[in-house]
Amino acid sequence: MRYFILSFIALVFFVFESIFAQMFAGDAFGADKILVPHFMMIFVFFLTMYGSRKMGMLYGAILGLTYDVVYTEILGIYMFLLPFLAYLISKSMKILQNNILIACLTALLFTAVLEVVIFQMNIILSFADMGFGEFAERRLIPTLLLNLAFIIISCYPLKRMIEKLDLQGETE
């Protein structure tokens, strides 16, 4: 039952991310700013931090493949990047203190890493033609602010929900 609940919550985040992107596309926050919600990725990060590394990497791969198929031109980038970042988060949380503030900052840091890696892949494949300064001003900072607001709103409920599902019993 807990896997059904976890899968349903992942689906809700996946759909909510798409709805949010459609509602606030365009001129909602300024014509030159690009807001990219990464709610599903933040869910995977919190699942890895408060659940298990195995579940975080598994959900990262499945949701990453789904995200690639539905939204991106580069098939496989999210599918490989999300489990890799989930693995790095699990390793970093063994070093860092596991409190809610550190978890929020870690999720924000790895969201920034995700954005920068995706941008660099788009530059390499000639899908983007802006410089890093322009990318940081137009996309990275607004995206991080949006996702920081989402992290602040959802961190405690996500933590409680994942801990309640008791995924720590899974083999690492």
Residue spans per domain, the chain: 2-23+35-166
Buried residues in 95-108 as b, exposed as e (16+ CB within 10 A): eeeeeeeebbebbb
Any residues with CB less than 8 A from the CB of 5 and at least 6 apart, and which? 165
DSSP helix/strand/coil, 13: helix
pLDDT digits (tens, 9 = 90+) for 22-81: 887 655 556 678 888 999 999 999 999 998 899 999 999 999 999 999 988 778 899 999
Cβ contact 44:82 at 8 Å: yes
Is the model more confident about 128 or about 112?
Answer: 112
Q: What is the pLDDT of residue 171?
A: 45
DSSP secondary structure of 129-171: ---HHHHIIIIIHHHHHHHHHHHHHHHHHHHHHHHHHTGGGS-
